[in-house]
């Protein structure tokens, strides 16, 4: 006999409904014909084929103002409007996950995030995130933070596979003041990256607009800096170590666009080693013997994009005191650099 639910349990029908998500897409003039369910799965972040097909069946996908079927083949310049119904997110819960805290006071923490950790929950990653670990660490002190958007106290973010420094506010006032510093570009952020090839000139500034790619909405793309598409993105770069066929670089952000460093280094023609999304994860043939097995081994050792948020400089939100922090390179990047240095030294000696 099935037990009745306890009276203290909240029935699903009483859970608050999340607001629907709407999106409008304009099919490119050069887009080849393709089933609309396949096209939307490629173009919409976190979209699955089943989710798209259900939206089409429920007439929440309109093409040129009219509902279509899943087998409709998109045409050049089609105007697509989609409404996705979003289920309520699970409640953010504290989790006892070890984190490396480099600094902490009454207003903030500076954390050295390890590669592979998601910063805040989202589709596919509801647990095991930095946000869950923060709630556990703060305990009752986290009660003042807004958890409705699943990112309590998190002022900025790092990609899952990017390691390094991240600031976390411990109260709403500190969060507001730190966010203002970021908005006014008063926070200095310097990253270390290992890239394919050596940029020439060895230092400079990359200026583009960055926005969603026309070909794949799940990734970002560069557009003309003075154009109408995307948002301004500015990055300074400096070659710290010339490794013949690779380079260790400093990347200083002046804006904070999604995937900015990764997209800018792809634009420069020197993608980050191991970056699967922006052209850095394919073994290459270099001008020395057995180079392809060597580069394949480097990618296996790295296992992610070789990008590390190394330095942060900002002001303490209450006192105004200047603060500066540096996180050492993680072991995977140090191992790869040592391997490159060793092989490059032997290679140059035989040339």
- Provide the greatest CA pair distance for the chain: 80
Query: HSE-up of 282 (CA within 13 Å, CB side)?
Result: 7
The CA distance from 174 to 59, in Å, is 45
Q: Which residues contact 251 (CB under 8 A, 6 or more apart)?
A: 190, 191, 192, 193, 235, 236, 237, 261, 264, 265
The CA distance from 74 to 61, in Å, is 12
Query: HSE-up of 272 (CA within 13 Å, CB side)?
Result: 29
The CA distance from 164 to 308, in Å, is 5
Q: What positions carry a catalytic annotation?
A: 159
**Are the CB atoms for 108 and 141 separated by under 8 Å?**
no
The CA distance from 159 to 263, in Å, is 13
Q: Angle between the 36-43 and 49-57 helix axes, to the nearest 10 degrees?
A: 130
Angle of CA points 117, 120, 126, to nearest 5°: 90
The CA distance from 62 to 24, in Å, is 10
């Amino acid at each position: 006999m099935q037990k009745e639910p306890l009276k203290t349990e909240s029935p699903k029908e009483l859970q608050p409904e999340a607001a629907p998500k709407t999106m409008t897409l304009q099919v490119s003039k050069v887009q080849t014909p393709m089933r609309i369910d396949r096209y939307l799965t490629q173009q919409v972040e976190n979209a699955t084929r089943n989710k798209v097909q259900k939206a089409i069946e429920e007439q929440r996908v309109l093409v040129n103002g009219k509902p279509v079927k899943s087998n409709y083949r998109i045409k050049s310049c089609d105007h697509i409007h989609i409404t996705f119904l979003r289920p309520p997110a699970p409640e953010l819960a504290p989790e006892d996950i070890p984190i490396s805290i480099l600094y902490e006071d009454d207003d903030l923490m500076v954390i050295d995030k390890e590669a592979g950790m998601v910063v805040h929950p989202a589709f596919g990653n509801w647990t095991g995130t930095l946000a869950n670990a923060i709630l556990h660490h703060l305990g009752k002190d986290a009660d003042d933070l807004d958890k409705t958007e699943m990112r309590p106290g998190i002022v900025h973010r790092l990609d899952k596979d990017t390691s390094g420094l991240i600031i976390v506010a411990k109260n709403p006032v500190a969060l507001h003041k730190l966010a203002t510093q970021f908005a006014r570009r008063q926070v200095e952020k310097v990253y270390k990256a290992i890239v394919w090839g050596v940029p020439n000139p060895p230092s400079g500034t990359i200026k583009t607009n960055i926005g969603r790619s026309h070909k794949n909405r799940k990734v970002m793309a560069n557009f003309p800096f003075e154009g109408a598409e995307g948002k301004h993105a500015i990055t300074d770069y400096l070659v710290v170590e010339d490794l013949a066929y690779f380079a260790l670089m400093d990347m200083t952000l002046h804006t904070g666009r999604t995937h900015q460093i990764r997209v800018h280094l792809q634009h420069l023609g020197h993608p980050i080693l191991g970056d699967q999304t922006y052209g850095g994860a394919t073994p290459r043939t270099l001008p020395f013997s057995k180079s392809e097995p060597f580069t394949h081994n480097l990618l296996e050792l790295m296992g992610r994009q070789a990008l590390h948020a190394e330095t942060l400089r900002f002001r303490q939100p209450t006192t105004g005191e200047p603060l500066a922090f540096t996180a050492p390179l993680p072991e995977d990047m140090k191992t790869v650099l040592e391997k490159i240095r060793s092989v490059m030294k032997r290679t140059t000696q035989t040339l």
